[in-house]
Amino acid sequence: MKHLHSVCFLLLSYTCLLLYVAAPASANIRGEAEALVKWKASLVDADGSLSTWSMANSTSLCNWWHVTCDLAGHIRQLMLIETSLNGTLDDFDFPAFPHMEKLILYDVGLYGTIPAGIGNLTSLVVLDLSRNPYLRGAIPRSIGQLMHLGLLRLRYLKLDSTLPEEIGNLTSLDELDLLVTLTGSIPPTIGLLVKLRKLILRNNKLTGRIPLEIGNMTELQSIELDGNHLEGQLPGTITHLRKLRYLYLSENQLGGHIFPELGNSSLLDEVEIAKNNFFGVFPPSICAGGALKFLIAGYNGFTGIHHQTFKNCTSLHNVDFTANNIVAELRDCFHEHLGQLQAMDFSENQFYGTVLTDWGEVFLCNYTLLDFLDLSNNSLHGGLSQCFWDMASLMFMDLSSNSFSGLVPFSRTCSDDLNYLHLANNHFIGAFPLGLKKCKNLITLDLGGNNFSGTIPSWISKSLPGLKVSSSVIKHIRRCHTSSGITLSQAPIVGLVKKQAHRTRSR
């Protein structure tokens, strides 16, 4: 009997202990429900989308819309996406959610500011407040208290502040994506984010230099700093980033030389540095890693390219050096078998030489996937080859404003994809190119500023039904008449549209 009393006493004690532990947990869960209901009451348009948020069914908190709980019944995730709330975060009781790991309020009509209290969400792993364009003010310094944060995404907000140096406290961060209106410089503390894989600060108003400390972020795979006002040279420490795949620095005020070691990363896939102030000879080692697909370097001040710079670029898809000051023989810069090349834009430079090999063929014709070719405004000379018309993928070709000469070669075929052909301001002679009859999908044709003669074929309007008219270009072609005696400047055979630059980029 004494033993039975002891067992009963132990069971009773254990039951009391469970009740003692469960009571505070239940109270905390009720507190989370009360906090959501209070915030809902402050929102203008929340009744429909948050109709389940009510203390009348607070015992089923985990069934509320947009809420996900952990096994203990605490709110672990709050996700509202493209829902009209029309309110602020002022009445959001951040300390009431110590277990929350994910807070996503995407395109929900928030306005006002981001309260400093957001730093109380100390278990948070994901924070995304994107597409709330009326959220203004600063990124609160308390953001540095979110030590477990792995993703911080604030895009398309009206924030107007500096990037707080406390950002360096987020040492668990994997992705930092801030597309707002950041001003000031990038703080050196960003180098403490040694686990960061994606740094996305594009299209802000950042100034100053890229900090040397970026070289400490050895897990970085993507750097997107394009569309800012950054200046100075690239830090040499960027060569420490052996896992780097994507480097986007276009539309800044960066300058100086590109250091040869930039291409050392065996993973480097895309480099975009257009519209800066880089100068000097472009380094020959850019493809040393063997993985480069996109190189966009237009609108800088590069003056040269080393011999056979691209001979190792066997994976290259797109290369663009528009509007530099490059003086080089075009043929020397390329290997003849870049089989993956799809777009080449070397316009507005000082490339010279011919496009023909020593055997009389155009080396570019080996690039069977090429669909965009712009070599306009250079100093190229010599003749062409009929293989141009046999390039099955070619859509856009501009060879205007060079010194090409001779007859435009005839071919019995023409790419079905060829839409834009610009051969103006060269020294071509002879009759109207009869091979164009096969180019059924031609939209624009510019032959002005050459020395064509003879008659314009009567099949033009029927064989090329998509061709548009622009007399401003036609009038520059002399001594060429239609069979009915109409001068070329009156004939509807030439179309001119603004060049649509070929750009393909995976982001």
Tokens 């400390």 sit on residue: 213
Instruction: List the one residue out of 226, 233, 248 whose CA is nearest residue 294.
Output: 248
Q: Confidence band (pLDDT; 50, 70, 90) for 290? A: confident
**pLDDT at site 335:** 66
Distances (CA, A) of 391 to 53, 237, 363, 373, 397: 63, 43, 12, 11, 11
Contact 106, 81 (CB under 8 A): yes
Q: Span 221-238, mean pLDDT?
A: 96
What is the distance between the alpha carbons of residues 123 and 118, in angstroms, rounded to a whole number? 11
What is the distance between the alpha carbons of residues 404 and 388, in angstroms, rounded to a whole number? 14
DSSP codes joined into one string, 210-224:
PPGGGGG-TT--EEE
Whether the predicted pLDDT of 502 surpasses 50: no
Tokens 């950042």 sit on residue: 206
| Percentage above 90 pLDDT, the chain | 62
What is the distance between the alpha carbons of residues 468 and 101, in angstroms, rounded to a whole number? 58
What is the distance between the alpha carbons of residues 280 and 258, in angstroms, rounded to a whole number? 8
State which H helix or E strand residue 350 sits in.
strand 350-353
Is the domain spanning 26-100+110-124+135-141 CATH 1.10.3720.10? The answer is no
Whether the predicted pLDDT of 41 surpasses 90: yes
**pLDDT at site 50:** 93
**pLDDT at site 3:** 52
Select the more confidently predicted residue: 453 or 346: 346
Whether the predicted pLDDT of 477 surpasses 90: no
Quote the tokens at residue 283. 């380094």
Whether the predicted pLDDT of 261 surpasses 90: no
Q: Span 306-323, mean pLDDT?
A: 87
- Torsion 240-244-249-250 (CA) sign: positive
Quote the tokens at residue 369. 């996937």
**pLDDT at site 500:** 44
What is the distance between the alpha carbons of residues 254 and 464, in angstroms, rounded to a whole number? 46
Residue 155 phi, psi (nearest 5): -120, 140
**pLDDT at site 19:** 35
What is the distance between the alpha carbons of residues 343 and 496, in angstroms, rounded to a whole number? 21
Strands (E), 40-194: 67-69, 75-81, 102-106, 111-113, 126-128, 134-137, 151-155, 158-159, 175-179
What is the distance between the alpha carbons of residues 190 and 206, in angstroms, rounded to a whole number? 14
Whether the predicted pLDDT of 308 surpasses 80: no
Contact 414, 435 (CB under 8 A): yes
Q: Span 108-130, mean pLDDT?
A: 97
Tokens 């348009």 sit on residue: 45
Whether the predicted pLDDT of 470 surpasses 60: no
Summarised one tens digit per residue, pLDDT across range 4-23 is: 455 444 444 444 433 333 44
Q: Confidence band (pLDDT; 50, 70, 90) for 387? A: confident
Domain range list for the chain: 26-100+110-124+135-141
β-pair type (350-353, 327-329): parallel
**pLDDT at site 476:** 44
**pLDDT at site 12:** 41
Whether the predicted pLDDT of 210 surpasses 50: yes
Contact 421, 444 (CB under 8 A): yes
Summarised one tens digit per residue, pLDDT across range 63-113 is: 999 999 999 999 999 999 999 999 999 999 999 999 999 999 999 999 999
Quote the tokens at residue 143. 């953001």
**pLDDT at site 468:** 61
Contact 446, 471 (CB under 8 A): no
What is the distance between the alpha carbons of residues 506 and 82, in angstroms, rounded to a whole number? 25
| Percentage above 70 pLDDT, the chain | 85
Ranges 173-187, 260-274, 282-296, 489-503, most confident:
173-187
Summarised one tens digit per residue, pLDDT across range 417-430 is: 899 999 999 999 99
Quote the tokens at residue 22. 């469960």
**pLDDT at site 310:** 82
